[in-house]
Amino acid sequence: MDISLARTFLAIVSGGSFARAAQQLHLTQTAISARVKTLEAQLGSRLFVRNKAGATLTGAGEQFVRHAATLVQVWERARQQVAVPPGRRAVLTVGCELSLWDPLLLDWLLHMRSAAPHLALHTEVGFPSDLLNRVAEGTLEIAVVYAPQQRPGLRVDLLIEEKLVLVTTAASGRMPAPADYVYVDWGPEFAAQHGLAFPQFSRAPVSASLGPLGREYVLAAGGAGYFRLDVVSGAIEAGRLRRVKNAPEFLYPAYEVYAESADAALLAPALDGLRQVAGAHTAQVSLRRPGAAATLKPAAPRPPPAAAGAAARRRRSPR
């Protein structure tokens, strides 16, 4: 089977219409329709029903989703492994969200240098939807993201339960005035919880969609905002930032996402390395936390069902 047919099928499933698939693949709708007809002829079944809203899967189409994802993943994996650098046995590609690379991805690279010298490593940062698409397509082996959506053929495991804490440059450590608050967009779940806890900060004079940018702005210009405890612990120890007294914490779990059909032998050292690095960071932050801190904790956003199931399995059977 021509892999482009499977890619086209998955693009329609992802976008919900032939028009969106054409935009994603930079093709005309006529070309998309022709590919679908060819694929349906090869499979001997109709895969889509087109309507005003777009395109919906038939029963046969729903059955083919997982197989199409596996076809594309296997092809991309084979294409990558052919180009293995000298002295290495395989190529492993890992991606993570922009706000996660420092220090998690850097520490993971250092760990893998000694733990898996036989692997050639390629790392990327990007937006969660793009990273998940890459995993589904087989061009990424692992993606580390905060709020992954369930996708056919992908497995989601809880990696680390981080916390967002309110910090300030003010020596008093008191709740900041609205004029001094910097809002960092940590996603829709955080926005909903934050809006309930802090209606007075709904119109912050400065906002950032990237955690590191917001953090560096606060350190340079002064102010307050919510940031990952792991990342600001050093600045707190150095006296550049202070935890705001009695401010609520927000749980912010990160997940590792990989294809169910992936090569287990290839992924094992990488996943183990991520978990070791994440565990070490959690232990360091726990040691740094002052024992007398009293905080209120709003309910954390629920992890995706697949992630929740994986977390439960880990609690039942320790690794």
Domains and CATH numbers, the chain: 3-69 (1.10.10.10), 81-160+254-293+303-316 (3.40.190.10), 162-251 (3.40.190.10)
Name the more confident of 13 and 101. 13
210 token code pair: 């990237």
> Which residues make beta-bridge pairs with 181?
224
Q: ∠ CA 208-210-215 to the nearest 5 degrees?
A: 75
- Kindly state the average pLDDT of the residues 15-29: 92
- Kindly state the average pLDDT of the residues 37-50: 94
| pLDDT score at 289 | 57
Whether the per-residue pLDDT at 97 is higher than 80: the answer is: yes
Whether the per-residue pLDDT at 75 is higher than 90: the answer is: no
- Kindly state the average pLDDT of the residues 143-167: 91
Poorest-pLDDT segment among 5-9, 73-77, 112-116, 203-207: 73-77
What is the pLDDT confidence band of residue 28, given thresholds at 50, 70 and 90?
very high
| pLDDT score at 81 | 66
Give the pTM.
0.65
What is the pLDDT confidence band of residue 285, given thresholds at 50, 70 and 90?
low
| pLDDT score at 248 | 96
Amino acid found at 110: L
Of 2, 4, 3, 22, whose CA–CA distance to 12 is shortest?
22
